[in-house]
Amino acid sequence: MTKLVKLAASLVCLGLAACAHTGGMTPVAELKPGTAWVLNSDDWASEAREVFAEATQHVDALESARPDGSWYVVLDLDETVMNNVAYQVELDRTGASYQTETWFDWTQQEAATPVPGSIEFVNHVNRAGGHVVFVTNRLDREQLATESNLAKLGLLRGRDFRVLLTRASPEGTSSKEGRFALVPEMLRVQGYPSTVSLAYVGDAKGDRPADWDADAFFCIDNGAMYGDPCASVPLSGR
């Protein structure tokens, strides 16, 4: 059993809504502030729900003027739809930093939990007649486990999302611009000839096109755990 598998087993309580915000079963004093905040604070969950509520309002204001199937929303995955705080807990406890191989091992466990509000938002977009598109910097070699993890969260390709674009390894770029630009063509060949994006949702600055309207980008606060966070006020108090 790998260390990460053991960790995941020990964190079962911490991943459950009933006990996630009670301080957990084990001391968390050694966790970094952002990790502890995401793991234990009600603020993180309520901030995330608030962002998804704002995104829902935005989409609702625009979609009624558009035919079903003619629009889409792009979401990042990690710390936007999939909560990987258990991986960060292991890093904090061992004093390690992010490594491609330990991250790969984590993705293969398919143990990410949902970011609060994300599943409801995806379901809302589908009910409203939009397409859900995921653009992630998870690698292509992690795609199968990622889709399986999403299925465990209740999100199925073709039913709940139509496009999932990973980052190609080893030469693919972390910039998502090229993949964002592909989305309308990918929808066209699936039978939707003319589509526009109504919103982007993510937790990092690169989760929307560089020239995208800031008012139509909805940012989840990831507690400054990863990347180049888009939260204007990392940790509580957006």
Which residues of this chain interact with Mg ion, rule CB under 5 A? Answer: 76, 78-79, 203
Which is nearer to Mg ion, 78 or 142 (by Cβ)?
78
Identify whether the C-beta of residue 104 lies closer than 8 Å to the C-beta of residue 84.
no
Burial of 36 (0-12, 13-18, 19+ CB in 10 A): buried
Q: How far is the CB of 45 from Mg ion (least distance, A)?
A: 17
Which is nearer to Mg ion, 47 or 79 (by Cβ)?
79
Q: How far is the CB of 154 from Mg ion (least distance, A)?
A: 20
How far is it, in rounded angstroms, from Cα 158 to Cα 33?
38
Q: How far is the CB of 70 from Mg ion (least distance, A)?
A: 27
Residue 137's nearest CA partner among 104, 193, 175 is 175
Which is nearer to Mg ion, 142 or 203 (by Cβ)?
203
Which is nearer to Mg ion, 76 or 221 (by Cβ)?
76
Q: How far is the CB of 42 from Mg ion (least distance, A)?
A: 21
Neighbours of 218 (CB within 10 A): 26
Residue nearest to Mg ion (CB): 78
How far is it, in rounded angstroms, from Cα 136 to Cα 53?
22
How far is it, in rounded angstroms, from Cα 54 to Cα 203?
15
Q: How far is the CB of 18 from Mg ion (least distance, A)?
A: 26
How far is it, in rounded angstroms, from Cα 166 to Cα 134?
8
Which is nearer to Mg ion, 63 or 207 (by Cβ)?
207
